[in-house]
Structure 1
Amino acid sequence: MPKAAVPHRSTSNPAPLAQHQRLALLRQLVNHDDVPLQDRVAALLVLLYAQPLTRIAQLGTDDVLHKDGEVLVRLGNPPSPVPAPFAGMLLDYLGQRPNAMTATNPDARWLFPGRRAGQPMTPETLELRLRRLAFPTQRGRTAAIRHLVLQAPAPVVARMLGYHDDTTAQLAAEAGGTWRHYAPGDHSRSP
């Protein structure tokens, strides 16, 4: 049998984007109308909420809530608010999702419907679409979660974004967060 060379793929986390790079990417996503809205919305979910493509692909239209003029996205509990320019983009996208009006997907409930009837777009397809835009998915996601755990207690971030408490606590410690001694729960009760 001839020798087979199996390429090595590193599983280590790449260095996150700097905050100014993350903000520049967010600005570009808002301002570049030449990029498909579908790709911009997926990239926003990565940069704002540190969501992996596997979870983004599984989001449904019912995970986007529009109540009293506020747009929320259900990633955990409670749903996370969507800031101003991105809320409009998300609502616009809901009204014009691709593959939602075809004979195979007339009642598609997926936020990112796939080509197969009743199936969401695969994470691999989302990754290819973002890679074509030279979007740094993993580095952007790492930057987003690190920024979030520096802004709020890790357990709060974990619940809102659907992460495990231990994961966000570890990320907060690595990022130098000051919320290490935060005790989640109801603090309004007297002892």
Structure 2
Amino acid sequence: MATELIPLAAALKSMKRANSGMTWIRQKHVTAFLRTLAAAPAISHEIFDELPDSRTREYVRGLLIEHGVLPQRDAFLLRYDSWAAQALERVSDPQNLDVARRYIRWHHQRRMNLMDEVTRGTYLRAKQEVTVAIDLLNWLTSHDVKLSELQQSHLDVWQAEGPTTRRIAGRFLKWAINTKAAPLGLTIVPHRRGTSPRLAKPGQDQALKQVIHDNGLETRDRAAAILILFFGQQAENIARLTWDDVTITEELVTIQLGTIQIGLPDPLDKPWRELSANPGHDLTASHPNTRWVFRGASPGRHIHPGHLTTRLGKLFSTRAARLGTLHELTKLAPVAIIAETLGYSPTTIERHAIDSAAAYAQYMAAAHQQRTSQTVRASDGE
């Protein structure tokens, strides 16, 4: 069995900085784990699952997947299945337990099983939706209310008593109504859109100037920042970019964002050319042949979107910058074109367009009032 670990040892020795790999493997907890693994009759995902859960276990598993010892598998789907089984233990009423189990199985797990790959965002949203649904069901139990007898007044009280995340129960409520588990006509007060701050145009220009001209920034941070400041891309979408999405020629760098390849003119293309010339995949054994542009800490994985936003946070708020960019873009092009080009839904872009139009209308009204006042003062002077 130990021969199956040979590719891992060879990979560690072939690293550009092999000493760091050997330092990691000599740590007591890593050495102990590898000894336990070497004593197993065979290496498989099932064997890994039987070992105590730890970061070391999952990191070694990732290394073995990346180097072809273990087959690929949908990690987030498996993690969700395991999490859901534990979440169901929190449901206090047997009748509601059946509802929650059906909601998990037929709404979330069924949808995940149809996906080519379950993303981290899908995994986290599904967890949050189930958590809030269970909170609602347990609240109903504590107030002697059956889901089939739920009234709008109950929902209003439950939502008012808790955090704003309770609005997410609207997704569970819609499912419950469609499956006849809850009465018709019930609603959850939705999140009021448009309350998040936007990075104004001067702030965007200053951030972009720093990204382009500050050589002290890491190349990957500069490349990601350009996609947010110029094209309003979400961190999750940026993190999932591969080199298959990027085309680099002597004349132009293009990136596939939505349905169209977007060209990056000089100087926006410089960070991407630098990354292409020196991706740095040989620095560790975690990403020997990766296609991820923004590789992560875990073997074979892209960067965590939250880690990406944290890195860029020293420059600007990624959310505020993204919303500010979309706000400005809707002044320049039709909604349908922006949505198709950048990979957004038309509804999302239309909402920003409405906000832009309102702001522009206010500007025009203020300008008209100023011109009128100037005319009046001039008349009075004459």
TM class by shorter chain equals: 0.7 to 0.9
What residue in structure 2 maps to residue 94 of structure 1?
276
TM-score by length of 1: 0.81
Aligned to 1:38: 220
Shift in Å at residue 66 of structure 1? 2.1
Question: Could you tell me how far apart the structure 1 residues matched to 2:257 and 2:323 are?
Answer: 17
The answer to which structure has the higher helix fraction is: 2
Structure 2 counterpart SS, 1:172: helix
1:52 alignment counterpart: 234
Q: Does 1:147 align with 2:328?
A: yes
Output the amino acid matched with 1:172: A
* Partner amino acid, structure 2, of 1:155: A
Partner of 1:164: 345
Per the TM alignment, residue 134 of structure 1 is displaced from its structure 2 partner at its CA by: 4.1
Give yes or no for the alignment of 1:136 onto 2:314: no
State the distance in 2 between where 1:108 and 1:151 align.
37
Q: Matched residues in 2 for 1:93 and 1:23: separation? A: 24
* 1:11 CA drift (Å): 8.5
CA contact (8 A) 1:97 1:112 kept: no
Maintained 8 Å contact 1:58/1:110: yes
The range that moved more, 6-15 or 60-69, is 6-15
Give the distance between the partners of 2:277 and 2:298, measured in 1 at CA. 20
Whether the 8 Å contact between 2:220 and 2:271 is mirrored in structure 1 is: no
- The equivalent residue for 2:210 is 28
Kept after mapping to 2: 8 A contact 1:154/1:169: yes
CA distance in 1, matches of 2:163, 2:346: 34
Is residue 146–residue 172 contact of structure 1 (8 Å, CA) maintained in 2? Answer: yes
Partner of 1:61: 243
Task: Give RMSD over aligned pairs.
Answer: 2.2
For 1:22, the aligned partner's letter is: Q
Structure 1 residue aligned with 2:357: 176
After superposition, the C-alpha distances for 1:139-190 in whole angstroms (9 at most, x for unaligned) are: 110111111111111111111111011111121111118xxxxxxxxxxxxx
In the alignment, what sits opposite 2:309? 127
Alignment partners' CA distance in 1, 2:318 and 2:306? 12
Q: Distance in 2 between matches of 1:61 and 1:127?
A: 21
Does structure 1 conserve the Cα–Cα contact (< 8 Å) formed by 2:196 and 2:320?
A: yes
- Other structure's SS at 2:254 match: strand
Query: Matches of 2:238 and 2:343 in 1, distance apart?
Result: 12
Q: Matched residues, percent identical?
A: 28
Q: Any stretches of 5+ residues in structure 2 without a counterpart? A: 1-161, 166-190, 359-382
Task: Decide whether aligned partners of structure 1 residues 15 and 62 sit closer, same or farther in structure 2, where only a CA change above 3 A counts.
Answer: same
| Greater radius of gyration (CA) | 2
Point out the more displaced range, 61-70 or 142-151.
61-70
Q: 2: CA distance between counterparts of 1:49 and 1:37? A: 18
* 1:30 alignment partner, SS class: helix
AA in 2 matched with 1:161: L
Aligned equivalent of 1:15: 197
C-alpha spacing 1:11/1:56, structure 2 compared with 1 (3 Å): farther
Query: Which residue identity is paired with 1:63?
Result: D
Residues 120-152 of structure 1: CA distance to partner in whole angstroms, max 9, x if unpaired?
A: 011011122112x14221111011111111111
What displacement does 1:14 show? 2.5
Question: Secondary structure in 2 aligned to 1:14?
Answer: coil
**How far apart, CA to CA, are the structure 2 residues paired with 1:7 and 1:129?**
28
Aligned to 1:107: 289
Letter in 2 for 1:24: Q
How far apart are residue 8 of structure 1 and its match? Answer: 7.4
Q: Distance in 2 between matches of 1:7 and 1:168?
A: 28
